[in-house]
Amino acid sequence: MADMSPLFRRKGPAPQDRLVTLIGKPGCHLCDDAQAVIEKVCGDLGVPWEKRDITEEPDLHDQYWEQIPVVLVDGQQHTFWRVNEERLRKELTGN
């Protein structure tokens, strides 16, 4: 794909048009670790992010309680348990 003309490459949304969602719960050390990575990557790229608590949202609890922390990008599950900075950055920039 590196040889492909820029005219034919697919362009995804700009990073600032994306939304990262961290689904976790209070007292979860993995959630704290995930938040640190998300804050760094989203801060660097200007990507908005939000934090949602499974203890306050029964639907999220039912869907994700065994996987927290869960990271969504534009509403689609990106990862769970551990967040890889490079992978998240690549997902958000398309690089």
Render pLDDT for 25-34 as a digit per residue (tens, 0 to 9): 999 999 999 9
- The pLDDT assigned to 5 comes to 47
Partnered with residue 72 across adjacent β-strands are 21, 77
Structure confidence at residue 64 as a pLDDT band (50, 70, 90): very high
How does pLDDT run across 27-58, given as a tens digit for each residue? 999 999 999 999 999 999 999 999 999 999 99
What Å distances lie between residue 47 and 10, 32, 55, 63, 76, CA to CA? 20, 19, 25, 25, 16
